[in-house]
Amino acid sequence: MAQQKIIVTENDCRRLERLLRGNVAQAIDTKKYIRDLCDELTRAEVVSSDKVPQDVITMNSTVVLRDLETDELETYTLVYPEEANIAEGKLSVLAPIGTAILGYREGDLVNWHVPSGTSQLRIEELVFQPERTGVLHL
């Protein structure tokens, strides 16, 4: 099965590539997550921040996700690892769900790996996208 196309802004791609080359990439416990993020960036369509569609999840976007198994809703802001705080709803792009939703669109179904197999989420709502409001430096 072909993977769905994802869209990443040039700014996000540059910063994420720096992250992949930096100290966090050397940590043993993050190697698989680094590899997953690298795979996502490799298949991404990279666009300028002013050209990204308004329904695409970019870095620092806030989204409502529905777990299709439990029907539970969760709201997260997709952030860089140093800003992550799950208690505050700040989800690291290196977390499996974070990597899985990057570049997807409102309404998309997203598969992500859990210890028992694969789980499926639906992106219910893109509450905030920095580029949509003209904030291009986050």
DSSP β-ladder status, 45-47 and 7-9:
parallel
pLDDT tens over the chain, length 138 residues: 357 889 999 999 999 999 888 766 555 466 777 888 889 999 999 999 999 999 999 999 999 999 999 999 999 999 999 999 999 999 999 998 999 999 999 999 998 777 788 889 999 999 999 999 987 665
Task: Tell me how far CA of residue 111 lies from CA of 65, 100, 121, 138, in angstroms.
Answer: 12, 7, 6, 27
Give the whole-angstrom CA distance, residue 50 versus residue 23.
Answer: 30
pTM score: 0.88
Domains detected in the chain? 7-130 (3.10.50.30)
Cα Dmax for the chain: 40
